[in-house]
Amino acid sequence: HLDDKEPMQSYRQSYFTLLAMNFGPIGSMVKGEMPWDDAKLNLFAGDLAALAKMDVSRAFPPGSDKGTTRAKPEIWDNKDDFEAKMQDMREAVTALQVAAGSGDKKIIAEATGAAGEACKACHDEYKAKE
């Protein structure tokens, strides 16, 4: 490996970086911090939905809580709740792709808010601040 990190830590960080870099611009467009671009929004929402089909749960196997990870031990203590929150995220970003296809800014804003809440719900419980 290229570094001395837990390999699954690299896997999950890469995954969530891809999520953030597709979701971030959608959030910025909805907030008016970036020019609205329907084509880009649909591309990003499509990639998010594709990423949601990946089994990111496999990036959190037992024993992969070692090292300097910001993934809190509660993930492995509350696997069912963690999985449920992950599933909420999958459903929210899949719904966001459908919303993006509508072209309706209000519907897109609501779906973006819901997806952001799904991200946050998991971070609040399972991602260390630093």
Return the SS3 of 118.
helix
Please tell me whether residue 128 binds ligand ASC under the rule CB under 6 A. no
How far is Cα 55 from Cα 11, in angstroms, rounded to an integer? 11
Kindly tell me which residue out of 7, 20, 33, 36 binds ligand ASC, with binding defined by CB under 6 A. 20
Please tell me whether residue 31 binds ligand ASC under the rule CB under 6 A. no
Kindly tell me which residue out of 24, 61, 73, 103 binds ligand ASC, with binding defined by CB under 6 A. 24
Judged by CB under 6 A, the stretch of 42-50, 59-67, 78-86, 116-124 that binds ligand ASC is 116-124
Kindly tell me which residue out of 27, 41, 48, 69 binds ligand ASC, with binding defined by CB under 6 A. 27
Terminal-to-terminal C-alpha distance of the chain: 24
Identify how many contiguous H helices and E strands the chain contains and give both numbers: 5, 0
How far is Cα 108 from Cα 96, in angstroms, rounded to an integer? 7
In the complex, the residues that contact ligand ASC under the rule CB under 6 A are 20, 23-24, 27, 116, 119-120
